[in-house]
């Protein structure tokens, strides 16, 4: 080959090599960039996940504390309800006893009054019978 043809050939081979090297470099470069972006995103996601886990633990603790408070409050309410129920039952017993005592007293008084009235009726009947015997 002559020199100019040789130079052109070398130049052509050199340009081809540069193009081949350049294409390979461009392919590697986005892959590296993508890998770095994915790595950075993974780090950020891990931080977010850790933050969410901390928030979950905090919420669990708050929830547990609230359940304890509500359970305690429920127990106090049930105890108060039982106390009021017992007081109501006692008030009913007291009222019934008071009414029953009054009825029993009235019953006793009325029995005595009935006896007195029966006695008076018998005496009046005796007098009426004696008065009829005297008139005859």
Average pLDDT for 21-37:
69
Three-class SS state of 90: helix
Residue 5 within any structural domain of the chain: no
Residue 3 within any structural domain of the chain: no
pLDDT the model gives residue 20: 65
Query: Range of 99's domain?
Result: 76-136
Residue 16 within any structural domain of the chain: no
pLDDT the model gives residue 99: 87
Distance, in Å, from the CA atom of 89 to the CA atom of 102, rounded to the nearest integer, reads 20
Q: What is the mean pLDDT of the chain?
A: 85
Number of domains observed in the structure of the chain: 1
- Kindly tell me the number of DSSP H helices and DSSP E strands found in the chain: 1, 0
Residue 24 within any structural domain of the chain: no
Distance, in Å, from the CA atom of 23 to the CA atom of 116, rounded to the nearest integer, reads 135
pTM score, two decimals? 0.45
């Amino acid at each position: 080959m002559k020199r100019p043809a040789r130079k052109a050939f070398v130049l052509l081979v050199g340009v081809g090599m540069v193009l081949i090297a350049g294409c390979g470099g461009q392919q590697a470069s986005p892959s590296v960039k993508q890998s770095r972006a994915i790595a950075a995103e993974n780090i950020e996601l891990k931080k977010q996940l850790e933050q969410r886990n901390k928030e979950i633990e905090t919420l669990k603790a708050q929830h547990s504390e609230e359940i304890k408070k509500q359970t305690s409050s429920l127990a106090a309410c049930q105890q108060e309800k039982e106390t009021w129920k017992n007081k109501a039952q006692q008030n009913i017993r007291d009222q019934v006893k008071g009414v029953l005592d009054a009825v029993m007293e009235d019953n006793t008084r009325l029995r005595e009054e009935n006896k007195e009235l029966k006695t008076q009726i018998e005496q009046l009947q005796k007098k009426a019978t004696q008065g009829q015997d005297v008139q005859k």
